[in-house]
Structure 1
């Protein structure tokens, strides 16, 4: 028996990547996901203030923000929401720094499938829930 759908906020400027992620999550049978997509960081921050999300999928390269400051903006505005970073930005230093500062997962675009993404989401939620209880 499935529990309630997992509310996912996707902050990603590339509509092709957004469609690909949505298709990946649709193929996962263990969980139901509701994906809300924002193209810009500022739109995502507004969405985080107005709705409840279980997890944020965050690209680090957006039209209005880039790099670790993108992560910091989201984390500072919603520190209780797990963040899974997925990006084409192949930078181990940024990856490690975001993880040190509170990101739960760091995935490289094109390097994961739907099951990997679902696992990253569910593990992130489990870790944050465990830490807060």
Structure 2
């Protein structure tokens, strides 16, 4: 049985203004050069994915545990930006973990390892990255 969810804007995070992707990328690049920031790296290849300044709370928590339709459990951490990721596939609402948000698979730009998912609604987006696929 397929589960579908309505497509209203989710209010999980503050809305990102249109065109803010480039602002987030600039902020991320600047913060990755700051030695006080903890870099979040791909565990497979060591590429820089994001940093701890982009950690965000979604539904009142930074970290969540979910299972997929096949029964695999994922512990994810939420980030407002992850420029070391690229995402692929069409957005899907099927078995979404955050009501009102579609998801796409997020992979490491450097080695293409699956790191998690990019979730988005009409007004916002964030990354849910698999804790065990990252290192600091």
TM-score for the superposition, normalised by structure 2 = 0.28
Give the structure with the higher percent helix. 1
Give the structure with the higher percent strand. 2
